[in-house]
Amino acid sequence: MNKPANASEIIDNIKVICQCKMIKKAAYKKLIAQGMDSIAELEKATGAGSGECGGKRCGPRLREMLNNPG
């Protein structure tokens, strides 16, 4: 049986980090937990940074997540 999600998990599954590709915060948190530790790795794994804004919106958000995981 799955354990109920806490408020933070619910928010992470709703909050969009990459607006061009509609990638949620939870996806990035999972990749970071698996050991990805650079924006380049996250972009390669998800396609972030390749949308119409070229990473101008998600880049700073990804940098913040890498600097403050959790």
Q: Are the C-beta atoms of 29 and 65 separated by less than 8 Å?
A: yes
| Domain presence at residue 39 | yes
| Predicted structure pTM score | 0.86
Q: For 7-20, what is each residue's pLDDT tens digit? A: 999 999 999 999 99
Residue 5 pLDDT > 90: no
Considering only CA atoms, give the Rg of the chain: 12
| Domain presence at residue 30 | yes
Domain that holds residue 38: 13-67
Q: For 20-59, what is each residue's pLDDT tens digit? A: 999 999 999 999 999 999 999 999 999 999 999 999 999 9
| Domain presence at residue 2 | no
The residues with which 16 forms a beta bridge, in sequence order, are: 24
Amino acid identity at 52 = E
Q: Are the C-beta atoms of 15 and 54 separated by less than 8 Å?
A: no
Number of domains in the chain: 1
Residue 70 pLDDT > 70: no
pLDDT for the residue 2: 67
